[in-house]
Structure 1
Amino acid sequence: MSATYPRFKAAACHVAPVFLDSMGTAEKAAALIEEAARAGASLVVFPEGYMPGFPLWAALRAPIRNHDLFKRLAAESVRLDGPELAVVRAAARRHGVIVSMGFSEGTDASVGCLWNSNVLIGRDGRTLNHHRKLVPTFFEKLIWASGDARGLRVTPTDLGRVGMLICGENTNPLARYALMAQGEQVHISTYPPAWPTRVPGDSAAYDLKRAIEIRAGAHSFEAKVFNIVCSATLDADAKATLSDGDAALADVIERTPAGVSMVLDPAGALVTETHEGEERILYADIDTAACVEPKQFHDVVGYYNRFDIFRLSVDRTPREPISFGAEAAAPAWTDADADEPARSEPQGLSLVEAGRRAAR
């Protein structure tokens, strides 16, 4: 069977969320999906933590001043099967597009445990891949838990083989190689609106724009893939919430280098311009056949490696807070039955079945 190399249009949504409002953000995303689909896009990408917005406050103020914002984020963090993502799924299905959505994920197991997650949604609205950021970066550790490797995979689609990493994961050579070695052709990398580490103007301050350019170019060039880079931006409401009337914080927010969006080809060259600032959808025409020729020069998952020297193994076991193994059936009696003869058959739900249902 001969290989096929799909062509399609991708859309990177360089946009602001409805800050700390997941349903409002979902409805905005649905409108953007419709706009992108009308423009001919088959893949629509949203930024890191887009739903309900990136918790930038963890970089700006002492933790003792951020409890209320964390509670708001926790309340607005969504479940994979929740109503907010259902709005996005319906839009993907209605317009027949694949959607990548960054979101803060909550769990029924805890009211305060959150993950920085990304979901790839198919044209039929179903989940194609669900990834939790492996390690929250720097101040993000105050917000999110570490993820696992369940979503460290490349998804075969009619647009090609799609992989995705979140922000700092694009600096992790092993995570990137894990996707390369699964035949990745289209890479999605998502970023926040800004990432302050020092007061702007300090020579050691982190330049998010430059960091993204380096990471994106490196992965495109090394993996020989198209790289769809999508960062968020902040609107006036988000800036007001983050600064909370503090002029010094407002100045930091305004002058900190912003995240940028772009699309790169398998040689690391720009397909679109590098965009920052105001909200905009970037479009790029993708031809996955362009991934082939550069593999002649350096194919790090093929002949240009030494597998007799280097080995990488990935454990994709989901890391859940509790698991239920095979246990003996529950006793058939209760205190109220103590004086009655033992029954020959256990009544009600066994611990084994209860465990299975809880795991589901």
Structure 2
Amino acid sequence: MLPRFKAAAIHAAPVFLDRTATTEKAISIIREAARAGAELIAFPETYIPAFPVWAALWAPIDNHDLFVRMAEQSVLIDGPEVARLRAEARSLGVTVSVGISERSPVSAGGLWNSNLLIGDDGEILVHHRKLVPTFYEKLVWASGDGAGLKVAEARLGRIGCLICGENTNPLARFALMAQGEQVHISSWPPMWPTRRPSGGGNFNNVAANRIRASAHSFEAKAFGIVTAGYMDAPMRAFLIARDPSVADVIDQTPRAASFFVDPTGEAFGDTFQDEEGIAYADIDLNKCVEPKQFHDVVGYYNRFDIFDLSIDRTRLVPANFSDEAARPPAGAALPPTDHVKVGDGPLSSRNA
């Protein structure tokens, strides 16, 4: 028999641009979800310290101070915020997926949109950096790499994660399907403004996210956990105090929703959109089996003699150094060159 467990999708706001306070809020939420019986707890995109919605609201030349603050409040993989989350997961025996704005250890302004999957033993199972920041996100985050395109072999099953627009990338999604993914976590921002209200046709992220989540679950025959951010009153007030003219954009842009889909693409369990809360659903991985009879795109329902996909999961770094000081004296036998990777924290390189 395959695992059965309760999952939690966290539909919550951060303490806007405050990594320490947001980490404390996350720990409080993890404890609440664990008390309710959740064993897999998933937070939204860049929950710590916030999603940079301002990149959609104002021109880049007006946002330098916000970028500086975002960089200051982003977190290191081996920093205290991640350590707190790892310790809490280990203490409670739960698996935690959390979106972070990750700070580079070798660049004061180098940031990635990242997601961590932390196991119930506190180890980082997957450290994924968003492959391509979407649209205006490119003004904040650098492109990631393929090192995080991994499905974790966890106690609860095979768990994979993609961030926001990556769920529109069929090759990234297939990379996870090809590893036997059984639970797919997709994380999203609280809103996605693309037009002013007067322009009409603003992007309906609820409909789009439902399509993407259902399509992936239907194709992978996997459960989907859709976890989206929430804009609370303090976040809204911060943005409008900076420029009251954006109030209409903020208030008339559809808010994201958090929900679940089963291996047939049908929604089930709790849904949250217009209020903060924790959505729960009971997941039974045995329900992933029967649909594989119909379409198993990583099994019999494919033509691997026709299609060939190669995926480079190398963690990219700024440079590789050969340490001359480590070389033995002249005449001595030379050991293999010790390559030191620069640009990755010790935890991420160990768990990549």
Q: TM-score range by the shorter chain?
A: over 0.9
TM-score between the two structures when normalised by the length of structure 1: 0.90
* Alignment partner, residue 203 of structure 2: 206
2:77 aligned counterpart, secondary structure: coil
2:319 aligns to what SS in structure 1? coil
C-alpha root-mean-square deviation of aligned residues, in Å? 2.2
Give CA deviations for 1:260-300 in whole Å, capped at 9, x if unaligned.
Answer: 10010000111124421211100000000000000000111
1:289 equivalent in structure 2: 286
The 3-state SS of whatever aligns with 1:189 is: strand
Partner Cα distance (1:124, 1:57) in 2: 37
Deviates more, 1:34-43 or 1:231-240: 231-240
Selected match of 1:324 from 308, 321, 325: 321
Instruction: Select between 242-251 and 51-60 the one with higher mean Cα deviation.
Output: 242-251
Q: Deviations over 1:88-113 (max 9, x none)?
A: 11211121100000000001210111
Q: Tell me the distance in 2 between the aligned counterparts of 1:357 and 1:274.
A: 42
Give matches, 1:231-250, under 5 Å.
231-250=228-247
Residue number in structure 2 paired with 1:219: 216
TM-superposed deviation, 1:43: 0.4
Say which SS state the counterpart of residue 242 (structure 1) adopts.
helix
Q: Aligned in 2, Cα 1:330/1:152: closer, same or farther, shift over 3 Å? A: closer
Aligned counterpart for 1:7 among listed residues 1, 4, 9 = 4
Calculate percent identity across the aligned residue pairs.
59
Alignment TM-score, normalising by the size of structure 2: 0.92
- The 1:7/1:239 distance shift into structure 2, 3 A limit, reads same
Could you tell me how far apart the structure 2 residues matched to 1:112 and 1:96 are?
35
2:122 and 2:69 map into 1 onto residues whose CA distance is: 28
Q: Which residue identity lines up with residue 106 of structure 1 in the other structure?
A: R
Match of 1:93 in 2: 90
Give yes or no for the alignment of 1:156 onto 2:153: yes
Matched residues, number: 343
Name the CA distance, whole Å, in 1 between partners of 2:14 and 2:31: 16
In the TM superposition, what is the alpha-carbon distance from 1:244 to its structure 2 partner? 2.8
Q: Which residue of 1 aligns with 2:349?
A: none
Q: 2:48 aligns with which of 36, 51, 57?
A: 51
Cα distance in 2 for partners of 1:196, 1:163 equals 27
Alpha carbons of structure 1 residues 237 and 345: separation in structure 2 relative to 1, 3 Å: farther
CA contact (8 A) 2:9 2:259 kept: yes
1:24-65 Cα deviation digits (max 9, x unpaired): 111000000000000000000000010000000000001111
**Which residue identity does 1:228 align to in structure 2?**
I
Query: What code does the residue aligned with 1:171 have?
Result: T
Q: Distance in 2 between matches of 1:9 and 1:149?
A: 29
Alignment partner of 1:69 is 2:66 = yes
Mark the runs of 5 or more structure 2 residues left unpaired by the alignment. 347-352
Distance between the aligned counterparts of 1:124 and 1:27, measured in 2?
20
Residue 182 of structure 1 corresponds to 179
What is the SS of the residue equivalent to 2:299?
A: coil
